[in-house]
A and B are shown apart, each in its own frame.
Chain A
Amino acid sequence: MPPLAERNLFHDKVRLAVTLTGIVFAVVLIVVELGLFVGFMKTTSNLIDHSNADLWVTSINVPYVEQGVPFSERKLYQVRAIPGVQDAEKYISDWVEWKRPDGRQETVQIVGMDIDKDMGLPWNLVQGKLGDLKRPDAIFVDEVYKEKLGATHIGQIVEINHRRARIVGFTRGIRAFTTSPYVFTMFKRAQDYARLPENQTTYILVKVAPGAEINEVRREILAQVKDVQVVTSAEFSHMTQFYWMFTTGAGIAVLLAAVLGLVVGFVVVAQTIYATTVDHLKEFGTLKAMGAPNSYVYRVITRQAAISAVIGYVLGMIVSAFVVHASQGGGAPIELPLPMAIGMFFLTLTMCIGAGMISISKVTRLDPAMVFKG
């Protein structure tokens, strides 16, 4: 086939630039909106997804991780005694008040764990060492929230619920979906900051022994430990995401923005691809008049759309990568996981070819007089 589709595209550089700009705009818009949605989703369940636990034991009807309800530590020993449990540890997540150096109060989420175990630990530590948390009053905060918390340096003394705390390390990129940043510390200290009685915890994290069946262990815990809810990490993650994204309505707005991004992106792509096809309407009419079946004309239009999609996608993803990178330092993370990047390719292809199909109807209904008039 003579390269009609390629030539139609590349012959008019200005038209090509307009077409590609439209597609790049659409790709970036959709990536940003979907990336924000994914980012927020992941943010809501950060603690759970990084917990390295197989099961979470909570009070009954706890809907999401921030809403932990204290229960007796004695249940920890009951859980540990259940066959198939390799390890079980206490874990606290609770709201507390943080006093900034200028006296202003901020609500934070205190997170307490046993740092000698490998469950529920903070991650992405960029300053300080995990062992530093064993020092008196030691806490970690995330550098994203330095300004919000008035945290400036290692060794800084702050106040949490009227108790002394010392910043001994900073993590990077551990965002909270709410406006309350996470503050990591040892379990006992978290208990103290949260003013929980000494024999209480909000969660028990469970590691299942190799070879043991998770659901079997869960059934055993439920059978032997009273008044608890036992969920896998995946389930608790999903529950937490669902709560914040859909029950509160916060996520609906983000989701609507993502859907809007898709719609606007499609409209922009449809408009540009349509205009590209309409530019060559007379040529398609000539092709048909000369005896080209509709399928031949469709192939040319589809090929044009597919080439535009591939180039637009590549350029769009380059721009998106910069946007995603730039967002990492801010409070609103944009995520671009590989499956989403792959999905975007097929979405771009579908949008462009779909838009081409819309313009095809125009070609199908060509007035023959148009072909004969110069």
Chain B
Amino acid sequence: MQPAIAVREVTKTYTEGSASVTALRGIDLDVHAGEVVMLMGPSGSGKTTLLSIMGCILASTGGSVRIAGIEVTQLREKELPRVRLEHIGFVFQGFNLFPTLTAGENVELMLDLKKEPQAAAKKRAQELLENVGLAEKYKSFPADLSGGQKQRIAIARALACDPEIVLADEPTAALDSHTGKNVMQMLADLAHKRDRAVVIVTHDPRVLEFADRTIRIEDGLVAGYSAKKPSSAISEFYPAVGAAAEPAEVRGV
């Protein structure tokens, strides 16, 4: 089966004037529908850069990125929003809800981007809020919602266009542990019950139990990987000794 995300030899170098910083040094990674992949690693290791590249927000310097079978490195910049809209849903650390729109309108906005008629968009937004258990908050503004509720609205919004891929950046960072677990369960259910490919960048070891695979990134390289569903700690990572030593799903072979 074709992976939802296929990353091959991806490099990224940021250049400013004569200075340049290499953020990714050749990453291989496949993510399949129905699995939760977590990206871990210290700050500045390149996790968010990798997530941005997989989200078609940032162009890689080299290598290949296929999203739902589409080679996105070959696309022109103006073609990328369409790929994001149709194939990728985003969940952000800070929720990134539009504070001036109600919860329902935040979800409707995504459908408007896809040119859904207004009535159909309202109905679909209502359904999505029901799915995350917040149907009664349709007309509430984000400022009136708790952190957990905001993240559930953000998840509803990410799913509005029915994407195959959900990319989440530190989705539990702003939440208490109980709410964080609920949100993680919701993301895991997206993968396991609704067959989405879910990639999560996190620093939070408490959420590792929800991962099917965990990839550790250090200095722009895959530094290790975990067996399926590690019980608790990062220490269970196997060291990666070059790409050849990685298991197939990490190398993407």
Contact = CB atoms under 8 A, between A and B. Distances in A.
Interface stretch (B2-10, B97-105, B188-196, B226-234): B97-105
A287 to B, nearest CB: 8
B120 interface: no
Contacts of B169: 372
A229 to B, nearest CB: 64
A374 B201 CA distance: 13
A291 B100 contact: no
B210 interface: no
Interface stretch (A1-9, A112-120, A220-228, A245-253): A1-9
Interface residues of B, number: 39
Interface string A290-303: 11111010000000
User: How many A residues are at the interface, by size bracket?
Assistant: 20 to 34
A294 B78 contact: yes
Interface in B167-212: 169-170, 173-174, 201
Q: Is the interface of A mostly helix, strand, loop or mixed?
A: helix
Given A2-B101, A283-B98, A372-B48, A296 B84 contact: no
Contacts of A291: 81-86, 88, 110, 113, 161
B96 A282 contact: yes
Interface in A359-374: 368-369, 371-374
Contacts of B49: 369
Nearest to A366: B57
Contacts of A371: 57, 92, 96
B41 interface: no
A369 B48 contact: yes
A13 interface: no
A369 B113 CA distance: 22
Nearest to B110: A290
B108 A2 contact: yes
Contacts of A368: 52, 55, 57-58
Given A371-B57, A372-B51, 5 more contacts: A290-B90, A291-B81, A293-B81, A373-B94, A374-B95
18 contacts: A2-B105, A3-B101, A4-B100, A7-B98, A11-B99, A283-B99, A290-B84, A290-B157, A291-B161, A293-B78, A369-B48, A371-B57, A372-B48, A372-B169, A373-B48, A373-B93, A374-B92, A374-B95
Interface of A: 1-4, 7-8, 11, 282-283, 286-294, 296, 368-369, 371-374
In order of increasing CB-CB distance, the 9 nearest A-B pairs are A291-B85, A374-B94, A7-B100, A374-B93, A291-B84, A368-B57, A11-B100, A2-B105, A286-B96
